[in-house]
Amino acid sequence: MAIPTLMNWSGGKDSALALYHALRDPALHLTDLLTSVNAHHGRVSMHGVRTALLEAQARRIGLPLTQLRLPETPDMAEYEQLMHATLAPLLARGVARSVFGDIHLEDLRRYREQQTATLGLEAVFPLWQRPNTELLAEFLTLGFRAVVVCVSEQHLDRSFCGRELDADFLRDLPAGVDSCGENGEYHSFVYDAPYYSGPIAVQRGEQVRRAYPAPAGSAAPEAAFWFQDLLVIE
């Protein structure tokens, strides 16, 4: 019997491709999407996409969306408390597995596994350790379409923000940049997918640069990012 499963959904390419494979896994019964959002700004925590676009994705996927609504700067204890409270209704319905789109980062995988275990969930990683070139070729060949909505200034300049995630974008990436953005080089928003009921029409808005100071006592420079605002047209 297929096990009730939630999808950790960022709205970007890795979670979108992971969901593609999870939907085809006979051992999994996908029941819900889960996304962390900044409650103050109404945007996805990871890359600043408006929750209206996140909700548009969920409607086209046909799965209910649960938002883990976080304050501006939660500490770990607050994050874990909110996570447990948010997931309690899903666990009560029998959800027992949790899918992630991680590819290569061992420490992140261990963290996911530890956190899900405290909730009684088993973590699933459909894309784990697959080569970047293989994943990106599959993503494009299957007909996924995405816009790059956030770039790290440490790795990429502003010109990469707002571009279509396509073969030209990948060809133009500088040497040393992970082509899947595993080190936070870029994030994307998927506006069309094989399992969507139809594409999401989006309009590019303004681009904004935000800088975040290094932790106290750290010699690291500030972290700066360019964000591409998107507006949904429905």
Contact call for residues 164 and 202 (beta carbons, < 8 A): no
Q: Are residues 71 and 174 in the same domain?
A: no
Q: Are residues 180 and 115 in the same domain?
A: no
- Is 218's pLDDT higher than 70? no
Among the candidates 98, 124, 150, a domain finishes at 124
Among the candidates 67, 98, 124, a domain finishes at 124
Q: Show the tokens assigned to 180.
A: 């899947």
User: What would the mean pLDDT of 163-190 be, rounded to a whole number?
Assistant: 97
User: What would the mean pLDDT of 141-157 be, rounded to a whole number?
Assistant: 97
Contact call for residues 78 and 68 (beta carbons, < 8 A): no
**Total domain count for the chain?**
2
29: domain CATH number is: 3.40.50.620
Which bin fits 184, alpha (ψ -120 to 50), beta or left (φ > 0)?
left
Among the candidates 95, 124, 153, a domain finishes at 124
Q: How many helices (H) and strands (E) does the chain have?
A: 6, 10
> Rg for the chain (alpha carbons), in Å?
17
Host domain of residue 226: 132-233
Q: What is the pTM of this model?
A: 0.94
Q: Are residues 100 and 139 in the same domain?
A: no
pLDDT in the model for residue 1: 83
pLDDT tens digits, one per residue of 32-67: 999 999 998 899 987 899 999 999 999 999 999 999
Q: How far is CA 108 from CA 8, 105, 187, in A?
A: 14, 5, 17
DSSP character string of 132-191 = HHHHHHHHHHTT-EEEEEEEETTT--GGGTT-B-SHHHHHHSPTTS-TT-TTSSEEEEEE
Backbone angles phi, psi at 171, to 5 degrees: -65, -35
Q: Are residues 86 and 179 in the same domain?
A: no
CA-to-CA distance for 107 and 114, rounded, in angstroms?
11
Which stretch, 83-87, 192-196, 214-218, has highest mean pLDDT?
Answer: 192-196
Q: Are residues 205 and 103 in the same domain?
A: no
Nearest Cα neighbor of 58 from 45, 44, 72 is 44
Q: Are residues 113 and 137 in the same domain?
A: no
Q: Are residues 89 and 169 in the same domain?
A: no
Sorting pLDDT into bands at 50, 70 and 90, what band is 216? Answer: low
Nearest Cα neighbor of 155 from 167, 168, 173 is 173
pLDDT, mean over the chain: 94
Q: Are residues 34 and 68 in the same domain?
A: yes
Nearest Cα neighbor of 14 from 166, 227, 182, 228 is 182
Q: Which residue has the tokens 């593609």?
A: 20
Q: Are residues 99 and 146 in the same domain?
A: no
pLDDT tens digits, one per residue of 62-108: 999 999 999 887 888 898 899 999 999 999 999 999 999 999 999 99
CA 38, 43, 44, 45 torsion: positive or negative? negative
